[in-house]
Structure 1
Amino acid sequence: MSRHAGREPRRLTRWWRRRSLRARLTVIAATAIAVSVFVAFQVASELLDRELKDTAENQLRADARVLATNAKRAGLAEVRLPPYPGSGRLVRVILPDGSIRTPAGQPALPPVSEDAGRVAQGASADLMESNDSDEDGYVIHTLRAGDGAVQVARVVDDSPINQFGFGMLLIGLLCVVGGALVGRTVARTGLAPIDRLTAAAVRVARTRDLDADIPDEGGGEIRRLIRSINDMLAALRESRLAQRLLAEDAAHELKTPLTSLRLNVELLIRLDRRGTLDSALPAESRTRLLNDLGAQVAELSTLVAELTDLARGDVSDESTEVLDLADVVGAAATRAGSRVPDIEVALDVTSVWVSGRPAALERAVLNLIDNAGKWSPADQPVQVRLRAEGASAVLEVDDAGPGIDAADVPRVFDRFYRADSARALPGSGLGLSIVQRVVDAHGGRATVARSARGGALLRVDLPAAAPPADVPRRPAGEDTAVR
């Protein structure tokens, strides 16, 4: 039984959720008006009933005082009783012996109650009582008069209340119908911006046109919603533009190494088909060509990996954790030394804790070291320094190379940008762009300046974090060299 009883509210909830917002507003408006009319009817009926009852009782008291005055002058047995008018007031005299007198032709009143009898015997001065036991209810006022009492009564008339209730019912029905119409009109008018917003969203989804901003109209929540959607469209436009630029730049950067690789492979295939590979390419030339092919394949692999990493943006399954940036810098320096044995990295690191993604931060540090390694002379190490500075972790990577021209500084972190002096060096122009993206994702800042050794000084500032309580501190100023 209780299981079935619990299903009904859930069904009602599901039904309500399936209704449109316009239908909900219409039902809410009609229900609110119906409840308001019902409450107003109850309050008005109570007030009207009380007012009519007070008026009738006051009239009964006044009529009883007049009849009692006449009875005292003429005597209860001799007082002249007014004839019954056919409706309205009824009178009765209670004699000292308990008998009663009533006008001729008047309907019989209910028997004298015990309380009314005690009034006639002098126990109290008056009594107001109601009698609803008969088909017609009566309000009877008993007043002491001489050695007996007089009674004045009226039939309880509910017709004014009933007529008032019927009128309120008609008014309530009209109000409910009118409320439903008004609610529907208000809903239609109020939701018109939502309808236009929906139509615009459908049009954007159908045409894929992200340049069509939705007109900013309405106020309050509607305006905020429209502005939020316009901001979302602007973000989608920027994302699509960045995607297109990335594809165009990637196609441009891949074209040259692919062309060179294809020409070299075609040369080997053509010579092999002619059977002149050994005669046309001596061992030394063949070794050099194969080395070039290996270098081009490695360059393509690096470029594709960087493109993939860059295209992923900030989307990563790697979780954020509180880590010691000195460990990340050390791991990146070790990787740089294994990838390019000629690079010597001099580390001057201090334990600084940050909140971030370890692999992304290591990739950014590795790119900084790789970039510096391309410019540093063979006898000059790449210096990597890490320290705490205020509320920031400061990482500096400098080299002893020629430095960066002032004209190239604003574009150092742009995608695929390579200075004129760097075009003969290996690389794709994506390394520092990836550094910029990782630093931005961690709430930091990347800058470039000239180092004291005359080369480039790349600096990264990241927000520092409190170290875990159970982790021992690293000695300050730990110097190591990685080759």
Structure 2
Amino acid sequence: MSGGAAGWGLRRLARWWRRRSLRTRLTVIAATAIAVSVFVALQVAIELLESELQDTAEEQLRADSHVLATNAERAGLAQVQLPPYPGSGRLVRVILPNGSTRTPAGQPALPPVSEHAGRVAQGASADLVESNDSDEDGYLIYTLRAGDGAVQVGARVADDSPIDRFGLGMLLIGLLCVVGGALVGRTVARTGLAPIDRLTAAAVRVAHTQDLDADIPDEGGGEIRRLIRSINDMLAALRDSRQAQRLLAEDAAHELKTPLTSLRLNVELLIRLDRRGTLDSALPAESRTRLLNDLGAQVAELSALAAELTDLARGDVNDETTELLDLADVVVAAATRARSRVPDIEIALGLTSVWVSGRPAALQRAVLNLIDNAGKWSPAGQSVQVRLRAEGASAVLEVDDAGPGIDAADVPRVFDRFYRADSARALPGSGLGLSIVQRVVDAHGGRVTVARSARGGALLRVDLPAAAPPAPITRLTAGEDTAVR
């Protein structure tokens, strides 16, 4: 039960501590550190002072005992003249051989002779130091062998000793130090956290105004400066992201405007003619077929554009699991999909097994876009050539066509979103395919370039970091070894 209560109390204390501000925590830590330091210093000082006073008192008692013992040996224990009691301070006593004692007249009684002191008087040992705390005031007594008995010199250890007064003074000083430490900790925390306060205010201002162009002033040093620079880098990344989103929205609106306008006009024409009842007379069968085909093509173009916009906007290349895969298998799968989408396309594959570490769906999407792009430009009877080989530490994929090629003025922008050369505006497509290719290749640490192929068309080359193929798995059967990869 007590253990559970203690645990509950610790949890409450931990919750309270987590709710405190950093300034309060620093103040509490500073005050606690000073309090602990003062307490330890007080204990050490008291121990040292007590030890020093003890040694001094013992030396004084020892010296007085030797003087009294010398006089007792000369005059005898029973006849030695005992010094009169001064009213305070030192107390003396003589222990006779028969165990009786002598004390000066008027002196307060010392504690009874202890068993150990009796043995000193009997000659069992030479001297003895004792402390007696049985009375209201304690005594420190030194017993020294003298003649056939012993002499004792004692001193009263009062409750209001210098040690107690010193401890009280040190305690008061310690309390003042703790209060001063708390004030100093508060001041240091306020001064040290001033850059954090300004940083917080700037971050709140950015959150309220949505102004990502307002960089936070670089001030302070060390960790504060690194934190401010990190936040400024984050703001710059957010600015770039917002700019990319704005451009994507503007480009998407521009690209959607033309097919939507054409689709709307064709649909409105059909609706108007149908309402007038002149659809059959105004549009012959051949014209209706051509119009419906145009509508189907425009819907397909919008569907493809929406799908590519979704792929581009999601940016989910990094969400797919990375695998060790043979890039040749990915190229074959992409070529199969390209043939199913465009049955008339001719694809010539020249592949070598090359292993890479990548995301299969993203890589297949990039290869498919390369083949689709080449298929749009390849004239009838000319194939799209796809080659894969290992070159040094890279996997090199080349896709070329026998089309007119890419003009030199268009090469720098061929991978831009929605960019389409003048000669390509009459062809189907959204201008996003090669942009997706570059995004996928960049995510895999590769590089994509464009050049002119030997057949006069465009040659798109992808370089990806190659990986070591997986080690063969050996299965042991009865009497033979079979390597299976």
Q: CA deviation at 1:241?
A: 0.4
Pairing of 1:10-159 with structure 2 (within 5 A): 10-158=11-159, 159=161
| Aligned counterparts of 1:261 and 1:44: Cα–Cα separation in 2 | 95
1:164 is matched with 166
The answer as to whether partners of 2:96 and 2:148 remain within 8 angstroms in 1 is yes
CA positional deviation for 1:316:
6.4
The equivalent residue for 1:431 is 433
Per-residue deviation, residues 224-267 of structure 1 (Å, max 9, x unmatched): 22221111111111010000011111111111222222222222
Quote the residue 1:361 is aligned against. Answer: 363
Written as runs of structure 1 = structure 2, the 5 A alignment for 1:234-383 is 234-314=236-316, 317-383=319-385
3-state secondary structure, aligned to 1:202: helix
SS at match of 2:450: strand
Structure 1 residue 61: Cα displacement: 0.7
Of 450-459 and 461-470, more deviation after overlay is shown by 461-470
CA contact under 8 A between 1:314 and 1:441: conserved in structure 2? no
- In the aligned structure 1, how far is the partner of 2:95 from the partner of 2:279? 147
Aligned-residue CA RMSD (Å): 1.9
Shift of residue 173, structure 1, vs aligned partner: 1.1
Shift of 1:315: 6.2
Q: Is the 8 A contact 2:318 2:443 kept in 1?
A: no
Q: Distance in 2 between matches of 1:339 and 1:94?
A: 124
Alignment-mate amino acid for residue 283 of structure 1: A
Distance 1:364 1:64 in 2: 106
Counting matched residue pairs gives 472
What secondary structure sits across from 1:242 in the alignment?
A: helix
In structure 2, the partner of 1:441 is 443
How far is 1:323 from its partner? Answer: 2.4
**In structure 2, how many angstroms separate the alpha carbons of the residues matched to 1:5 and 1:50?**
39
Q: Partner of 1:51: helix, strand, or coil?
A: helix
Q: Which letter maps to 1:443?
A: G
Cα gap change, 1:136/1:330 in structure 2, threshold over 3 Å: closer, same or farther?
A: same
The farther-off stretch of 90-99 and 408-417 is 90-99
Equivalent in the alignment of 2:483? none
Aligned-partner residue type, residue 241 of structure 2: S
Cα drift, residue 51 of structure 1: 0.5
Aligned equivalents of 2:358, 2:11: Cα separation in 1: 45
For residues 136 and 256 of structure 2, what CA distance do their matches in structure 1 show?
Answer: 105
Determine the structure 1 residue equivalent to 2:410: 408
Tell me if structure 2 keeps the 8 A contact 1:119–1:143.
Answer: yes
SS class of match (1:415): coil
TM-score normalised by the chain length of structure 1: 0.93
SS in 1 for 2:415: coil
Moved more, 236-245 or 201-210: 201-210
Residue in 2 that maps onto 1:181 = 183
Shift of 1:212: 1.1
Structure 2 CA distance for aligned equivalents of residues 4 and 401 of structure 1: 82
Structure 2 Cα separation of the partners of residues 118 and 15 of structure 1? 63
Distance of 2:357 and 2:28 partners within structure 1: 52
Higher mean alpha-carbon deviation, 133-142 vs 72-81, is at: 72-81
Q: Which residue of 1 aligns with 2:194?
A: 192
Which deviates more from structure 2 when the two are superposed, residues 235-244 or residues 384-393? 384-393
CA distance in 2 between partners of 1:87 and 1:31 (Å): 44
Secondary structure of 1:397's partner? strand
Name the stretch that deviates more: 258-267 or 423-432.
258-267
CA contact (8 A) 1:325 1:351 kept: yes
Q: Which runs of 5+ in 1 are unaligned?
A: 473-483
Query: Per the alignment, in what secondary structure is the counterpart of residue 377 of structure 1?
Result: coil
Match of 1:462 in 2: 464
Note if contact 2:317-2:443 (Cα within 8 Å) is conserved in structure 1.
no
Give deviations 1:325-355, integer Å, cap 9, x for gaps. Answer: 2222111111111211221011111222222
Question: 2:214 aligns to what SS in structure 1?
Answer: coil
Please state whether the residue corresponding to 1:78 is helix, strand or coil. coil
The answer to whether the Cα contact below 8 Å between 1:34 and 1:176 also exists between their aligned partners in 2 is yes
Return the letter of the residue paired with 1:82: P
One-letter amino acid of the counterpart of residue 205, structure 1: A
Q: TM-score, normalised by structure 2?
A: 0.93
Superposed CA deviations along residues 96-130 of structure 1, whole A, max 9, x for unmatched, are 33332211111011222232223223332222122
Q: Bigger CA drift: 106-115 or 235-244?
A: 106-115
Separation in 2, partners of 1:399, 1:254? 28
Structure 1 position 77, deviation (Å):
2.7
Partner of 2:316: helix, strand, or coil? coil
Aligned partners of 1:49 and 1:62: how far apart in 2? Answer: 20
Contact 1:94-1:120 at 8 Å conserved across structures: yes
**Code of the aligned partner of 1:383:** Q
Where structure 2 has 5 or more consecutive residues not aligned to the other structure, the ranges are 475-485
- Which whole-Å CA distance do the structure 2 matches of 1:150 and 1:272 have between them? 139
CA–CA distance in 1 between the matches of 2:268 and 2:115?
Answer: 130
Indicate conservation of the 8 Å contact 2:317/2:440, yes or no.
no
Question: Does the CA contact (< 8 Å) of 1:72 and 1:146 recur in 2?
Answer: yes
Q: Secondary structure at the match of 1:210?
A: coil
Q: What SS is found at the alignment partner of 1:151?
A: strand
Residues of 1 paired with 2:52 and 2:186: CA distance?
39
